[in-house]
Amino acid sequence: MSQLAMSISTIAVVGALVSAAVSTNAQNSSAPNREPAYISLNQLPSFAQPFLLASGNRLQRPGSERVTVVGSVSRNQGQPTPIQVTWEFPQKIRIDERRAPIVFDQGNPAQRSPDPQSTDTTETLLEDSVEGFFANLREGSTRLLGSGFRLQGAAQGTPSYDIVETWNRSKIRGGEAQTIKRYWFDRSNHLLSRVVYGSAVEGQLVEVFLSDWRDVQGERIPFTIERKEGGSTTLLLRISSATVSPRIADGLFPER
C-alpha cells in the first residue's frame, strides 16, 4: 500500500482532466411508477465496488430508496436551527427549514435552487455524497487517482484514502460549468470521508467532510456533514435521528 502524503493545497482544482475516462450513460426514470435505474455491482469499475457495498442496499435494490433525517443546521458559524432532509433515490432531495422548502429532482432540473446559499446546501447534501458520486460515475468522466493517500505530515496508523476524481456538470447549478471533484474514501471501511473541489462562484477551495457514520436499518448514514470554503465553515449539519423507507408517491416530490 502506498504511503504517499498529499496536502490539501495540492487538491485545488486546476488544469484539465487528462486521463482516460470511465463513463456510462445515465438511466433516469421518466414516470413516477417506473422503477429507478438501480446500480449494479458488476457494472462498476472494480475500484468503486467496495464503496457501493459499504453504503448499504438503497442504491442497489428496491425497498429503502428514501432516507429522512431531522437535526440542526448552522451556516457561517451562526446559531443552529431545526432542519429535516429527505433523500429519495435516484437523486432527489427535499430540505425543510423555517423558510420555503428546497426541492430538487435530477429528472426535473427546472426545480433548480433559487439562490446561491440554497444551491450550496443542495449541492453539499446531494452531489457531495455517495449517491452523488455514483451519479457522476454514470454520467461523467472518472479516474482513480490512487490508493493509500495520507495527509501531509500524518503519522503511521492514521486514515489513508482511495481518491477518485470525477469531471461532470452540476445539475443543481443548471449544468453551467464542468466541475472536477475528488472523492476521498477511507480505506479502512470504504466510506466517503471528504469531497474536495473548487467553488463554482468564487473559485475558493471547497471541502465537504462526512463523519459519524452510523448504521440505520442496514444503511450507512453520516450523522455529521460539514462544508468549508477557503478553510471557513459555511454549513454544518448535525443529524439527531434518521429513518429509511421505500419510495412512495405521497406528494413530497412533485411528479415529473
Instruction: List the CATH number of the domain containing 66.
Output: 2.50.20.10
pLDDT tens figures, 125-146: 999 999 999 988 888 789 999 9
- pLDDT higher than threshold 60 for residue 32: no
**For residue 101, is it within any domain?**
yes
**Which helix (DSSP H) or strand (DSSP E) does residue 232 occupy?**
strand 232-245
* More confident of the two residues 32 and 91: 91
- pLDDT higher than threshold 50 for residue 25: no
Percent of the residues in the chain that have a pLDDT greater than 70, as a whole number: 79
- pLDDT higher than threshold 80 for residue 70: yes
Q: Tally the C-alpha atoms within 13 A of residue 248's C-alpha that lie toward its C-beta.
A: 9
Q: Are 205 and 180 in contact (CB under 8 A)?
A: no
**For residue 91, is it within any domain?**
yes
- pLDDT higher than threshold 70 for residue 116: no
- pLDDT higher than threshold 90 for residue 63: yes
pLDDT tens figures, 201-231: 667 899 999 999 999 999 999 999 999 999 9
- The cell 422548502 sits on which residue? 101
pLDDT band at 18 (very low <50, low <70, confident <90, very high): very low
Q: Which residues constitute the domain of residue 147?
A: 44-245
pLDDT of residue 169: 76
Q: What is the mean pLDDT of residues 184-212?
A: 91
Contacts for 145 with CB less than 8 Å, ≥ 6 apart: 163, 164, 165, 182
Spell out where 42-174 has E strands. 66-75, 81-88, 92-96, 102-105, 141-151, 161-169
Q: Are 229 and 196 in contact (CB under 8 A)?
A: no
Report the domain count for the chain: 1
CA-to-CA dists, residue 226 to 21, 69, 92, 195, angstroms: 29, 16, 20, 10
CA-to-CA dists, residue 212 to 16, 59, 82, 174, 237, angstroms: 34, 20, 19, 31, 12
**For residue 35, is it within any domain?**
no
**For residue 6, is it within any domain?**
no
What are 197's strand-pairing partners?
Answer: 181, 206
**For residue 78, is it within any domain?**
yes
**For residue 3, is it within any domain?**
no
